[in-house]
Amino acid sequence: MEEAEIAGGILGQRVGLLHDRETGAVKDAVSKAISDGVLTMANVKYAIIRGKDESELEDFYLTSAYETTINKHFSVALPNSLKGGRKKWSDRVGTWFTNNAQIWDDTVKAAVKARVAEAVASAPKKALSSQAKAPFDALVRLLKERLAGIVAV
């Protein structure tokens, strides 16, 4: 099977989505996609951390996986752990940016998230915290199930 056929089959199956657990517009968009038939509940997995009102994918990463990158590119010294409270990752990081005399807006947040993604991609086995196991295992199971129907895995 050609790669293009596999990719087309994957896209046609709406394989899966691990999404931030947020309220507001994101939640509404996922709900609308489900009600419009673009997604099903079976195709969506959320980045959920117990005890948090909202959580993001970055909440699952160990600070040690990206703190050097943040310091190098933004001159912001993060604490050893960004855990604590019910705030999501971007809110906690935003506080550290302002504590380090840096601005925190949507543009900076997007740039920081991109740098974090690069750092995590360079050493993924060292990046995930123990909190990430259940949601990622659920996503892997979903992907294997969906892909088994498309390609011989």
Rounded Cα distance, 55 and 50, in Å: 9
Residue 84: what pLDDT?
61
Paired tokens of 53: 């009102």
pTM: 0.71
Residue 85: what pLDDT?
66
Q: Mean pLDDT for each consecutive 10-residue tract of the chain (153 residues)? A: 37 46 67 85 76 80 92 89 74 91 96 95 88 79 80 55
Nearest to 118 by CA among 84, 72, 50, 86: 72
Contact call for residues 102 and 73 (beta carbons, < 8 A): no
Rounded Cα distance, 39 and 116, in Å: 28
Residue 120: what pLDDT?
93
> Nearest 5°: phi and psi at 44?
-120, 130
Structure-derived torsion over alpha carbons of residues 125, 145, 13, 21, reported in degrees to the nearest 10: -50
Burial class from Cβ neighbours inside 10 Å (0-12, 13-18, 19+) for residue 55 reads buried
Residue 12: what pLDDT?
40
Residue 9's CB is within 10 A of a number of other CB atoms, namely: 16
3-state secondary structure of 19: strand
Nearest to 64 by CA among 47, 46, 82, 48: 82
Contact call for residues 66 and 115 (beta carbons, < 8 A): yes
Residue 10: what pLDDT?
37
Nearest to 135 by CA among 24, 5, 17, 9: 17
